[in-house]
Amino acid sequence: MGLLERFSGRRPPLGEILKRNGVLDDAQLARALEEQRRTGQKLGEVLLSLGYVTRDELARALAEQERFRSGDAGRLAPAEHEALLKEVQVKVLARMGSARQQDVRQLLEPVCRDVLAARRPDLLGAVWEFAEDAYNRLFSLGPLEKYLQPGSDVTNIIVFGTKVMIERPGGIKEVDPEGFVSEEEVRRVFDRIAARAGKELSIANPSLDAELPDGSRVLLSVPPKGKKYYAAIRRHVRRSARLEELVAGLRGLDGLIPYFKKAVRERKNFVIAGSTNSGKTTLMNALLKEVQPLHTVAVLEDTWEIDLDELPFVAYFKTREVPGVPPITWGDILKDCLRFSPQRIVLTEVRTDEAACELIQTLNTGHEGSFTSIHAKSALDALLRLETLIQKKEKNLPIDVIRRLIARVVDVVVFVRLEENERGGVVGRRIDEVVEVGSDLLPDGMYDLREVFRI
């Protein structure tokens, strides 16, 4: 049986060959396909009429496509096939590392070419099909794949057994009409996600928190920890909206824009509080666009979320927790970032006691104009949650000392909330309250909160 017969049996699309050869980009191919649907012409004719390819480039691509279709590759036994795929998997995972926004498909073809050149040079003519097969068998995420593409607007993906639910901006929820075929397919996809993160799911380790190559955060859970297979994927769709652009989707913001701009310029320290998916990071991104362009900013994250490309002096740091590799802690990245003498520090979300302690200690050394967010049910609850996290790590530190440390460095707390309809669907988001925190505690030992806004 020939190699191409072992695989899908189809020839690679003409557009994909031209893209791979560097002749077309995604936008050009999309326009050409749209024109093809409209006119009914062959794709090659459309590409020529649009001036995207020359006749020589088209002829070479068609010849390459025909070579794949001819199926004249050598024979490949199943055991050898599996061995080659395993070698490809190991090499791709090694090259991926922790690179940001790494595209597995971009790595696959050169790796497959190297493997075939070393092991089976007679199959080099079918490297495209081999790479496609390797992707489908080693890295494809099945029904989740389409929602994780760069152009997708999906923000959250939830897997319940074999069912898949997605959420789009505005809280619009949909159920994938196909989902997974079986629990076996779910497990294969979960194992691929774990492998990308350098981890393994097992009876001893039935859940894991990992990061996908596109920066999305995923939590996986398999039996016996749960009754079925569960996954929660939070996509960090990078948005570049300014405060004025958020008004339509964030009730209460309109009248607060002048206040927020002034507070950022005056280098107030912000804490943005709210529930999951309430818009904390989106609001933080918009506030950061008001930072003076000559300020040096250090962004500290455990998941890539903040994108400040419009600011010229931004340093990004990220924690790391991978089995078999020394961890990179919040303390590590805070120490490193201070060497850049940042005027502002952004810790995207306080999730752990270590992050809370390191942040409050660093801000108490005089760093103004900094930002963080935290899960909380109100502005006051955000401060109390910071207390709880610090107490967890610094058990012998009196509560009044912890409160004074927090009060000295937190200037403004913004609480954002999801708005739902009777069925539980998200209909919008709103700013519930904005408070300023006095630097001294009240006589009863509580925070001195001055209300700026309440809806």
d(CA 270, CA 347): 11
Cα–Cα separations (whole angstroms), residue 51 to 20, 21, 22, 59, 416: 18, 16, 15, 15, 50
Distance spanning both ends of the chain, measured CA to CA: 70
Phi-psi domain of 261 (left: phi exceeds 0; alpha: psi -120 through 50; beta: other):
alpha
Q: Amino acid letter at 316?
A: Y
For the chain, domain boundaries: 14-70, 78-139, 143-234, 243-454
CA atoms within 13 A on the CB side of 253: 23
d(CA 407, CA 446): 10
For domain 143-234, the question of CATH label 3.40.309.10 is answered with: no
Q: Would you give the DSSP letter of residue 314?
A: E
CA angle 296/305/255 to nearest 5° reads 80
d(CA 19, CA 7): 22
Q: Would you give the DSSP letter of residue 139?
A: I
Closest to 355 measured CA to CA, from 302, 404, 412, 407: 302
d(CA 128, CA 12): 8
> Which residues, 6 or more positions from 402, have their beta carbon under 8 angstroms from its beta carbon?
387, 390, 391, 394
Using a 10 angstrom Cβ sphere, with 0-12 exposed, 13-18 middle and 19 or more buried, the burial of residue 190 is buried
Peptide linkage before 206 cis (omega within 30 of 0): no
Per-residue pLDDT of the chain (455 residues; tens, 9 = 90+): 344 344 444 456 788 778 877 888 888 988 888 888 788 788 888 999 999 999 888 888 887 766 654 444 456 677 888 888 889 888 887 776 544 334 677 788 889 989 988 988 877 777 877 888 888 777 788 888 888 877 788 889 999 999 999 988 767 788 988 888 889 889 989 988 887 777 888 888 899 887 776 678 889 999 888 889 999 998 866 666 899 999 988 999 999 999 999 999 999 999 999 998 888 988 999 999 999 999 999 999 887 778 788 889 999 998 877 666 788 888 888 888 888 889 999 999 999 999 999 999 889 888 899 999 999 999 999 999 999 999 999 999 999 999 999 999 999 999 999 888 777 777 789 999 999 999 999 999 999 999 999 98
pTM over 0.85: no
Q: Report CA 227 to chain centroid distance, whole Å.
A: 27
> Which residues, 6 or more positions from 455, have their beta carbon under 8 angstroms from its beta carbon?
251, 252, 430, 431, 432, 433
- Give the CATH number of domain 243-454: 3.40.50.300
- Torsion sign across C-alpha atoms 376, 381, 387, 393: negative
